Amino acid sequence: MTATAQPGTQRDYHSTGPELGIRDRYTSADFARLENEKLWPRVWQVACRIEEVQNPGDFCEYQIGDQSILIVRTEAGEIKALHNVCQHRGMRLKDGRGSTREIRCRSHSWCWNLDGSLKEVIDPQDFDQNAISPQALRLPECKVEVWAGFVFINMDQNAAPLHEFLGPVRERVEHYGIHKMVCTRLRSAVVDCNWKLGHEAFIETYHAVGTHPQALRYLDDTGMIYEQHGDHGMHRIKPGNVGRPSARLGDDVGDRKDILLALTADLAEFDYYNEADVEMANALLDTAMALPEDVSMGTFFADVRRQQAKAEGIDLSGFDDSELLAGELWNIFPNFTIPCNAGNALILRFTPNGLNHEQCIIDIYYMKLFADGAERPPMEFEFYEDWRDTKAWGTVAMQDFTNLPFWQRGVHSRGFRGPLWGRPDGNVSNLHRALSEYLAK
């Protein structure tokens, strides 16, 4: 593999043969143990949303591998990230989400304040006083920072600040107003694949021709843009290519009405657009059909989104058509993807399912921009042990989820020596380059 990617470059890396050793990263328990030792304890990663710890006493457990971190809002309003373990004999202190006035062990009732300071040791006279001093028994902390409404943690107290880790990602993502959006829903499910395979399925669009063939009716996938920025990556559809059939289809493109209906139905079902946007577009179908032939359905629908947002008290006039239809898709190393979209967005996280390296949990955060003063709904939570237990994902996500178990089984094959990466796989190869560097530290 090649050297470190330079910021803002396209990592135009072409495998000259199978990338040997990569397949084991998806299938090897030893490799998963190496990640648990050298990746997850040293990298910035998303633990939760601020909506999950909105009020003093609110807590949320974040699990990664065999580690459990407790995110808690203190009485002073500060967010803490505490190792979720009793300092007496190792009992896990809290699980799931909730609200509490203190952090008390369920076994011997030792207790800590919300900021991790010691509150009570039962029968302290029976212990060495230095060993149970408040200084000795604080709950160990992780570094914690908030960006774009997401709570990031790093178990390495010597890690560089989050803004250095993110680099240009911050400014580019904030342009879309993601930091102003509210998370209305977190939908999560277990999928039978390694977390990296899950993530890789969402950091390139080369797979659209095989996985999402219906999207070619409204998306020209032949002009994709790929960039790498340090450990992170970005890809996007070439401006003007949403609302236009793929060049792969030739003359078999249907009429303009078909294009608009396919665009709005498919991506609204994926929650990429608001239902109100689609309803307005459908109500204006006759207007759309009367537009000059050189006006694309993408341009029409972008205008619809501006009008609908204005009706809700939201100003999207500063965004161009491409930013309203399908903006930049950022993948933040190691396991976080932000498909940027003005007005609303859905954001994905991929984590191992505990110590099972052949399963991952895929979390989708559904984001929406609200007008100033508008009522914000409470965040809702859904979790499925089997993603097939609901169809609420929409066609696009379900097509990806359907593929992933076949991919996991495929990389076990003795007939597969390793991936062959080309230009469209630049973000994938860059992810593995960054992973190699972490594991070598």
Q: Which residues contact 154 (CB under 8 A, 6 or more apart)?
A: 42, 43, 44, 45, 142, 143, 144, 162
Q: Please report the pLDDT score of residue 218 as a whole number.
A: 87
Instruction: Name 81's Cβ contacts closer than 8 Å, sequence gap at least 6.
Output: 47, 62, 69, 70, 71, 141, 142, 143, 144, 151, 153
Output the average pLDDT for the chain.
93
Flag whether pLDDT at 391 surpasses 80: yes
Q: Which tokens go with 97?
A: 């989400």
Mean pLDDT for 41-60 is 98
Mention every residue, 6+ apart, whose C-beta is less than 8 A from residue 382: 185, 186, 187, 188, 390, 392
Proportion of the chain above pLDDT 70, given as a percent: 97
Q: What is the DSSP string of 50-111?
A: GGGG-STTEEEEEEETTEEEEEEE-TTS-EEEEE-B-TTT--B---SEEE-SSEE-TTT--E
**Residues in the chain, overall count:** 441
- Residue 1: the pLDDT is 45
Domains assigned to the chain: 45-164 (2.102.10.10), 168-440 (3.90.380)
Q: From residue 287, give the alpha-carbon distance in Å to each of 115, 283, 307, 324.
A: 58, 9, 14, 20
Look at residue 410 and give its three-state secondary structure.
helix
Of the listed ranges 41-55, 212-226, 394-408, the least confidently predicted one is: 212-226
Can you give 19-30 as a three-state secondary structure string? CCCCCHHHHCHH
The model's pTM is 0.94
- DSSP-assigned letters across all residues of 212-277: -GGGGGTB-GGGEEEEEETTEEEEEEPTT-BTS--GGGTT----HHHHHHHHHHHHHHTTSS-HHH
Average pLDDT over residues 105-126: 98
Q: In this predicted model, what pLDDT tens digit does every residue of 71-109 receive, in sequence order?
A: 999 999 999 999 999 999 999 999 999 999 999 999 999
**With bands split at pLDDT 50, 70 and 90, how would you rate the model's confidence at 299?**
confident
The three-state secondary structure class of 412 is coil
pLDDT at residue 136 greater than cutoff 50 = yes
φ/ψ of 428, rounded to 5, equals: -70, -50
Contact 230, 236 (CB under 8 A): no
Q: Which residue has the tokens 């459908």?
A: 282
